Amino acid sequence: MTLAMSTRSAWALLLVLLSLLGSALAADNTRYATATVDGKQVSVLDNRRPSLYTGKFGDCMGGSSINVTRFDAAYYKDNMTILFHLGGQTALRNESIMMYIGVYAYGESRFDLTFNPCSANIYSACPVHAGTPIEANGVIPVSPSDVAGIPPIALGIPDFEGEAILRIFANSTQSEIGCFSAIVTNGQTFAQAPAVGSVLGIFTFIAVISSFVTAIYGDSIPVMRKHYAHSLSVLVVFSVWHHIYFSGALSMNWPSVLVAFWSNYAWAGGMIYSEPMQNTINNFIGSNKGNTSAVGAAGTGVQNLDLGGGYDIHKIYKRDIFPRALNVSGLMKRSKYNRVARHLEDLLTKRELADTSDGFSWYGSPVKPGLPLPGNYSGFAGTLSEQSIPASNAFMTGFLWFLVLIVAVAFMVVAFKFTLEGLSKAKLIKNDRLAFFRTHYLGFTALAVLRTMFIGFFMMIFLTLFQFTYLASPGPVAVACIVFLIMLFGLGGLAGYACFYRIKFGNYISEPDRLHLEKKKVMKFIPWYGFTRGSGAARSEDKAYAGSMPWWTVRSANESEKSIHDDEDFTKKFGWLASRFRRTRWWFFVVWLVYEFIRACFLAGASRQPMAQVFGLLVVEFLAFIGIIILRPFEGQRLNIIVVYLLGFSKVATVALSAAFDTRWNLPRIPATVIGIVIIVIQGVLTIVVLIAIIIGAISSYMSVMRNREEIRPKRWIPIRERYFKHMDFKEKDIPKPPPPPPEPMPEVPKGPYFSVNSIKRMPKVEDEDAEFQHEVTGGDLNASQASLPGDGIGGMPATHGRAASIRSQMSYSSLPYGARVHRASWSSHDFAEHYTPGRRRAASNSMGYTPEDGLRSANRTPLSALNTSTPDSINSRSKAPAMSPMEYGQGSTASPITRPKSRPSTKSPISSRPHLQTLISENAIPRLPQTTNAKRAVNPNTAA
């Protein structure tokens, strides 16, 4: 036991020592350099990433006499140094050369230097000899003024667009014998295929699974189709990815930011780089790689005289500056970059250039044959260069990966079936789980393969046509012809047969019709035109028409024909084509195939004519955008939003903005980069919307799969699921939404002028202060409440009452409320009352306390009815009648009348004179007892008790 522990301890100690030794050796091999960071001197790693450095490079001349195998340079901002390395070989036996290096950023020259290798102590190139390798490397310190031409934004902007061009001239002939171009980058880029491409791939796989489970779950074909139609379509997802990536197929001079962004979608277009696959394709194609300049890209190995603005040989070999000995030191001292030249001359003279051949990993390699020059991203060849795929290999690369996809789809469907069978045998799932799919798995496999071909229709048609246009190599052309015929006539024939099958067996008939071109206005002032069918709407005289043309219509002979989606036989055969479209737009798959074919023809067939390509495609995209908006073909609302509005707008905007990149416009590279960023924003927003739609589609697919369960988790989704199912049921009918209920009718308002009095408020009058009127109100009106009358009787004597005071104080003998003030009524307010009847008398009830003398008082008083008359004669008679004061009521015949003083002067006109109005006694009132002179004497307060 002790021996075993000792052995394990010895091995552990040995491992620790070896690890420490490896760390020490690694530490010794680590190289550092002194740099200034934030004003402080620090040590930095020698293999750190430079601020700017060169990448891939290629031959920009064609047939160069010197073959450069390594050409790299790097600029370090932290310690203000430039590192360079040059390596190559030549077949020239003895030739003195001159070298020219130019650095360009966004199409403008930022730095250039001409030097003699002999003066630069590059002895392997002084002169060059056949069989002698050319090697030159070193580190050059620079000052801030030397790099002032490099803007600070260049060190951080993604996909910095720069080039470094090396030109070699032979002194004997004073001609160019070599040209090499390398890209200059800062390491920041939109091309994040391992990250962005992987995320897009994962989301696409989620969309595939979400769509597949809705297609196989259930046993009722109409119900399965309904839920499948509302899941997110894989066709829509790939249509978006294809649109974004194949936008680079236009023969335009693209900015580097766009090509880098599109490279994240290359996998969706089948452009996946694989070294073994590319080697196999190269062997199949042969040495013919085509000419990328034919599709707008600057080719490698061909003459590019205008690259970097060209050069002037007379400035390089100018006699007044260069003697025949070609002393480069004089050139460098007289050049406008004399500071850099002096640094370089001093270092070269002292031979202090450090060897940088080892330990530096930030450099590129020569591009492979068939690729365009690095830094040139024109046309589809420039777009493919990000994946290092030559344009000559594009079709075969996409075709092979498409075959892999088809095989993978078929294999996954079959493997899923047998996995279910294994789980069922192991009693991990119910025996009847997905029984319909397990019974018809072969049919599902065939339909999945056909659906995959339908999704890849545009991609394969474009690649085959591009192969015909770009490279006429016998082998690839033969394969392209076969694939083209299968995709066009195979899928096209199946689509046509689906329509024929529905029309023939669905009891449809075709009838002649007319298509009217109707004049309209958009936004009430923009002239526009629209088409209407004669069978749908009769020609109206209220509308203006520009013309009409013969047309046809296909309709069901039986008006009670059921929906196409309820036809189980048709769905089994052609559901992979028509199931996602509306009941009245089931034929849209034919329109979609025609539209995609026309797009592919413009992108691939017109690649040699950039202007015809871009403007022809712009017209196609615009017409398709308008047409799809009108049709709104998909049954699912999310699909219509993505395809109809967002995808259509992105296509039109991308093609319209891409027209600015044509070389004949000579657009500066900085504005071109800005336009490229605008396109990235548009397509980036579209990408984000699709990703969100995939997430929502996965949730809705989960609800569809759980439709037979009363509860799902989380439970708060249950109301959402119910609304979603109701939405599907309504959309399946393909009928317009019912109009909102009409508002409740408003009450009719009389038209024209009218007059209405709703209330009257009496305002104080002058007569309210009249003593006579006040007397009538306080003492002469028996309709008032007894509690409001004064306690004195007539003649100043106290009134005698037969009721208790407590009762009298709360009993009202009029219609007025308690405590109300009585006003004398206006004489004109009684004009519409009943007419006066002279013989009418009010009966006095003994039970109310009436005495025989009350009849006399009632006979002498003018009743209220006497005042209500509408004839002038009655008014005049009333005005002439003598007025009696209240003191006369209850008087005997011997009593002399008391003359009533006039309240206002009388007028001669009987109409204008105001008649005296008497206040009537209510039948419910209790009249006072009449008081006579004798009665007054008899009443004595001392004897009242």
DSSP per-residue letters across 327-350: -HHHHHHHSTTHHHHHHHHHHHHH
Query: Which whole number is the average pLDDT over 607-633?
Result: 92
**Lowest mean pLDDT, pick from 126-140, 499-513, 855-869:** 855-869
What are the C-alpha distances in Å from 828 to residues 345, 814, 831, 887?
127, 22, 6, 26
Q: Which residue has the higher pLDDT, 930 or 898?
A: 930
Q: Which residue has the higher pLDDT, 565 or 881?
A: 565
> In what side-by-side order are the strands of the sheet with 508-522?
526-533, 508-522, 545-556
Tell me the per-residue pLDDT of 669-690, one tens digit each, with 9 for 90 and over. 889 999 999 999 999 999 999 9
- Greatest mean pLDDT among 94-108, 558-572, 645-659: 645-659
Query: Which whole number is the average pLDDT over 204-220?
Result: 94
Tell me the per-residue pLDDT of 395-406, one tens digit each, with 9 for 90 and over. 999 999 999 999
**Lowest mean pLDDT, pick from 531-540, 635-644, 667-676:** 531-540
pLDDT above 70 covers a percentage of the chain that reads: 71
- Long-range contacts from 190-196, C-beta under 8 angstroms, 24+ separation: 190/158, 190/159, 190/257, 190/260, 190/261, 190/264, 190/680, 191/159, 191/260, 191/261, 191/263, 191/264, 191/386, 192/264, 193/263, 193/264, 193/266, 193/267, 196/264
Structure tokens at 896: 């002399």
The band of 71, judged by pLDDT with boundaries at 50, 70 and 90, is confident
pLDDT of residue 21: 35
Q: Is the pLDDT reported for residue 129 higher than 80?
A: yes
Note whether 214 and 558 are within 8 A (CB). Answer: no
Q: Which residue has the higher pLDDT, 911 or 48?
A: 48
Name the H helices within 712-802. Answer: 718-733, 771-778
Q: Which residue has the higher pLDDT, 674 or 353?
A: 674
Q: Give the residue extent of every domain in the chain.
A: 46-188+302-366, 509-555
Nearest Cα residue to 250 out of 596, 621, 605: 605
Note whether 844 and 858 are within 8 A (CB). Answer: yes
Q: Is the pLDDT reported for residue 841 higher than 50?
A: no
3-state helix, strand, coil in the chain (%, to 5): 50, 15, 40
Before 817, cis peptide (omega within 30)? no
Total-model pTM = 0.72
The owner of tokens 């969100």 is 692
Instruction: Give the chain's mean pLDDT.
Output: 76
Structure tokens at 358: 């080892």
Q: Is the pLDDT reported for residue 18 higher than 70?
A: no
Nearest Cα residue to 191 out of 253, 266, 117, 94: 266
Structure tokens at 752: 């024209």
Tell me which fold the domain 46-188+302-366 belongs to: Immunoglobulin-like (2.60.40)
Query: Which whole number is the average pLDDT over 547-570?
Result: 78
Query: Which whole number is the average pLDDT over 371-393?
Result: 90
Nearest Cα residue to 196 out of 153, 158, 248, 251: 158
The band of 863, judged by pLDDT with boundaries at 50, 70 and 90, is very low
**Lowest mean pLDDT, pick from 110-119, 168-177, 213-222:** 110-119
How far is it, in rounded angstroms, from Cα 238 to Cα 945? 120
How far is it, in rounded angstroms, from Cα 911 to Cα 913? 6
pLDDT of residue 836: 46
How far is it, in rounded angstroms, from Cα 196 to Cα 265? 9
Phi, psi of 801 (to 5 degrees): -125, 150
Which residue type occupies 428? L
The band of 389, judged by pLDDT with boundaries at 50, 70 and 90, is very high
How far is it, in rounded angstroms, from Cα 478 to Cα 189? 39
How far is it, in rounded angstroms, from Cα 379 to Cα 250? 6
Query: Which whole number is the average pLDDT over 443-462?
Result: 96
Q: Is the pLDDT reported for residue 621 higher than 80?
A: yes
CB atoms within 10 A of CB 594: 13
pLDDT of residue 4: 46
Query: Which whole number is the average pLDDT over 818-835?
Result: 51
pLDDT above 90 covers a percentage of the chain that reads: 33
- Greatest mean pLDDT among 530-539, 565-574, 759-768: 565-574
pLDDT of residue 902: 47
Q: Is the pLDDT reported for residue 635 higher than 70?
A: yes
Name the H helices within 637-733. Answer: 637-640, 648-658, 669-705, 718-733
pLDDT of residue 918: 52
**Lowest mean pLDDT, pick from 198-212, 233-247, 325-339, 500-514:** 325-339
Q: Is the pLDDT reported for residue 615 higher than 70?
A: yes
- Greatest mean pLDDT among 556-565, 612-621, 753-762: 612-621
Tell me the per-residue pLDDT of 109-119, one tens digit each, with 9 for 90 and over. 877 778 888 87
Structure tokens at 343: 């640094």
